[in-house]
Amino acid sequence: MTYQRLYQPKDTMKDFLNKRERGELLSQKVDFLKQNILSPASVVMRVSVYMQVNLSATINGELRFGDVVMLVNVGGKDREHSALSINANVDNLTKTFPPSIKMPCGVSAGKGIQACIRTAFIITSVDGSPEQSTLHYDQSFALRTTSGFAKGLYLTSDKPRFLKTAKKSGLQDVYLDETLSALSWWKISHFDPQERFESEGLPVPANEKVLVVHTMTNEGLAVLSEKLLWTAYGREYEVVAHTFLDTHRAEQDVNFWIL
């Protein structure tokens, strides 16, 4: 037996112990990620959403700028409810202190409907509307993750192009970006096409079925239950920007959301 073979197991164990002490083992990184991004949120009246994650209690049943919300897809006949979620993995962690999510970072639809950092988004003004003012149908806004670990990133989308599409479906990709631009603008439309024109400019109700539409491309935020993603949080659905119409030219349930 050579000297190298004799001491190799000891060196391997020493390397393992050193990595464990520094928190560099894959299992430690996964645990750290989940501890931070799955931190629970509580439902309270508006307090400093930049210091902690709180889902906003509605005022007069309307959505307002500054509200912290979850986006829940209503599901369908063969698909349960799912929540728009940050799809960060251990490769998305910065090495700086305190750690946070780094780019690029995707989103997915998780079947666990739990209020936490991973599922919390802030309704953010892009037209100068003040905090706590009412959001109206067809008014552009941005959806931003909470600050701190989630880094205040914007839900963003762009027209499909070479090497820039959703991984599974090849449709228009949806992802998180640190820059607020026209690609990060969204609007709410009434889910019923026959009510859409009359509802334009009216306050958007909370906890009711709506369409979330990408302003620049006019494609609806959608969940694809047949396109499964294996994530650090389990099996989840792909999220895209694409409007799915039935034979009556009405949007399908994959495009329906509750905020």
CA distance 132 to 122: 12
The domain that holds 126 is classified in CATH as: 2.80.10.50
- Is 23 part of a structural domain of the chain? no
- The confidence score (pLDDT) of residue 101 equals 75
- Is 5 part of a structural domain of the chain? no
Residue 158's CB is within 10 A of a number of other CB atoms, namely 20
Structural domain tally of the chain?
1
- Is 247 part of a structural domain of the chain? yes
- Is 132 part of a structural domain of the chain? yes
Range of the domain at 243: 38-258
CA distance 147 to 149: 6
pTM confidence score? 0.81
Please report, as a single letter, which amino acid is at residue 10: K
- Is 33 part of a structural domain of the chain? no
- Is 27 part of a structural domain of the chain? no
- Is 10 part of a structural domain of the chain? no
- The confidence score (pLDDT) of residue 3 equals 47
* Residue 163: HSE in the Cβ half-sphere, 13 Å Cα cutoff: 0
- Is 196 part of a structural domain of the chain? yes
- What is each CA distance from 219 to 71, 86, 160, 213, 241, in whole angstroms? 16, 20, 12, 6, 5
User: What residue ranges of the chain have pLDDT lower than 50?
Assistant: 3, 6-7, 16, 19, 22-25, 42-52
